[in-house]
């Protein structure tokens, strides 16, 4: 299996689950939840394969948004310094190296409030074409998106558009104030209407409650077509960001989140994303068992550290697992 569709004959995505139904899954006794997640995962995917993606910051820092977890906001004083939009050849070279390292999807992130028409956007479209020419899946995260821009990305051959919901609608105002929850949902709708696949996840460990994690999963389940890819980030506390002091990562809650996502979204890729460098091998192995079947490879995720490639290779070998081709 590669980074594409789930197995033929796999269980269909659940059509609708409200918050109460998701809560009932999330709060099952852990062995029962684990069994359900393992069963759902094996029905849809090769349980030994982990899809690898690489994420590159193609335009770093200087963002006008105030996301409380992000080092790239111009409103914060952090270790990040603004950098201009990358050159096309440099991005394609990075994608080629990622492919040689086993990645099947290449993700490009720009610290923009949203896409603006013009030369910069045209350069991003060329980046997408360059990644596709390597035989990789392409993904971008560019902030808010208008319908004609989503269509331009689709015509350039983009496979996935990433736009995370981050957390529940209720907790969202504690995270960001410069754009609303419905703004995020509108961007996802524009991407979907253009024929793009969605990469949409959240962050745990920001001071949110269990109920917020349940409500976020219910948001995914309520979509007419849930995201094909769901990155699960653990908050990386960054000095200078408002949420750094709220970090309260609980490994068991992460495991419950992964397992519930797998039950609720049986044919979506569930990805271990930011914060993986701080997870033990044992915790990652548990997440893989419960249905996480994707991870970011490479030494950096935008502006934060990621697990080393040799550690990933050693872990997969120790588990008798392999990178998806």
In CATH, 19-323 is 3.20.20.70: yes
Strand partners, 230: 270
| Span 103-132, average pLDDT | 95
User: What is the phi/psi pair of residue 61, to 5°?
Assistant: 70, 175
| Span 282-299, average pLDDT | 92
Query: How far is 47 from 217, CA to CA, in rounded Å?
Result: 22
Crossing angle, helix 281-289 and helix 309-319, to 10 degrees?
60
Are the C-beta atoms of 68 and 179 separated by less than 8 Å?
no
pLDDT, averaged across the chain: 90
- Residue 303 pLDDT > 80, yes or no? no
Question: Distance of CA 161 to CAs 37, 128, 142, 195, 215, Å?
Answer: 26, 11, 8, 10, 22
Task: Give the pLDDT confidence score for residue 95 in this predicted structure.
Answer: 96
- Residue 126 pLDDT > 60, yes or no? yes
Task: Write out pLDDT tens, residues 57-97.
Answer: 999 877 878 887 887 776 776 776 778 899 999 999 999 99
User: What is the phi/psi pair of residue 270, to 5°?
Assistant: -110, 115
Return the CA Rg of the chain. 18
Torsion angle, CA of 112/62/54/228, rounded to 10 degrees?
Answer: -30
- Please work out, in degrees rounded to the nearest 5, the angle formed at the alpha carbon of residue 62 by the alpha carbons of 228 and 86: 65
Which residues are the active-site residues? 63, 67, 70, 107, 139, 199, 271
Query: How far is 145 from 179, CA to CA, in rounded Å?
Result: 13
CA 191, 145, 108, 91 dihedral sign is positive
125 or 11, greater pLDDT: 125
Domain ranges of the chain: 19-323
| Span 264-270, average pLDDT | 97
- Residue 11 pLDDT > 80, yes or no? no
Are the C-beta atoms of 148 and 106 separated by less than 8 Å?
no
Phi-psi region of 291 (alpha: psi -120 to 50; beta: other; left: phi over 0): left
Closest CA to 219 of 173, 258, 166, 176: 166
Question: Distance of CA 306 to CAs 55, 110, 188, 274, Å?
Answer: 10, 18, 27, 7
Task: Give the pLDDT confidence score for residue 8 in this predicted structure.
Answer: 38
| Residue 160 host element (H or E) | strand 160-162
246 or 233, greater pLDDT: 233
| Residue 233 host element (H or E) | strand 229-234
CA 301, 66, 110, 184 dihedral sign is positive
- Residue 9 pLDDT > 50, yes or no? no
User: In residues, how long is the chain?
Assistant: 325
Which residues, including other chains, have CB under 8 Å from residue 83's CB and lie 6 or more apart? 57, 59, 60, 61
Count CB atoms within 10 A of the CB of residue 69: 24
- Residue 253 pLDDT > 70, yes or no? yes
Query: How far is 142 from 108, CA to CA, in rounded Å?
Result: 8
Task: Give the pLDDT confidence score for residue 12 in this predicted structure.
Answer: 43
Q: Read off the pLDDT band of 10 (50, 70, 90).
A: very low
| Span 235-253, average pLDDT | 86
Q: Read off the pLDDT band of 3 (50, 70, 90).
A: very low
| Span 289-306, average pLDDT | 75
Query: How far is 78 from 61, CA to CA, in rounded Å?
Result: 10
Task: Give the pLDDT confidence score for residue 5 in this predicted structure.
Answer: 45
């Amino acid at each position: 299996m590669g980074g594409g569709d789930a197995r033929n004959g796999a269980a269909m995505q659940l059509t609708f689950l409200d918050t109460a139904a998701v809560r009932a899954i999330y709060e099952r006794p852990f062995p029962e939840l684990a069994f359900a997640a393992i069963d759902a995962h094996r029905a849809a995917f090769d349980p030994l394969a982990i899809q690898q993606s690489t994420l590159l910051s193609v335009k770093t820092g200087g963002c006008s948004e105030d996301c409380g977890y992000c080092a790239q906001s111009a409103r914060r004083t952090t270790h990040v310094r603004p950098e201009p939009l990358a050159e096309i050849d440099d991005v394609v070279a990075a994608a080629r190296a990622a492919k040689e390292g086993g990645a099947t999807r290449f993700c490009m992130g720009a610290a923009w409030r949203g896409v603006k028409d013009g030369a910069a956007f045209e350069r991003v479209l060329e980046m997408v074409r360059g990644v596709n020419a390597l035989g990789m899946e392409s993904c971008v995260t560019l902030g808010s998106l208008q319908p004609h821009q989503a269509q331009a990305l689709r015509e350039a051959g983009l496979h996935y558009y990433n736009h995370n919901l981050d957390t529940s609608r209720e907790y969202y105002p504690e995270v960001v104030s410069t754009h609303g929850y419905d703004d995020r949902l509108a961007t996802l709708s524009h991407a979907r209407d253009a024929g793009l696949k969605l990469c949409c996840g959240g962050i745990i460990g920001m001071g949110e409650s269990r109920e917020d994690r349940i409500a976020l999963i219910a948001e995914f389940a309520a979509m007419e077509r849930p995201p094909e890819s769901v990155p699960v980030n653990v908050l990386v506390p960054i000095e200078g960001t408002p949420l750094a002091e709220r970090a309260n990562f609980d490994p068991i809650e992460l495991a419950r989140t992964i397992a519930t996502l797998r039950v609720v979204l049986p044919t979506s890729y569930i990805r271990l994303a930011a914060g993986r460098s701080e997870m033990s091998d044992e915790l990652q192995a548990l997440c893989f068992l419960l249905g996480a079947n994707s991870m970011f490879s490479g030494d950096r995720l935008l502006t934060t550290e990621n697990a080393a490639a040799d550690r990933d290779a050693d872990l997969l070998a120790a588990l008798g697992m392999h990178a998806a081709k």
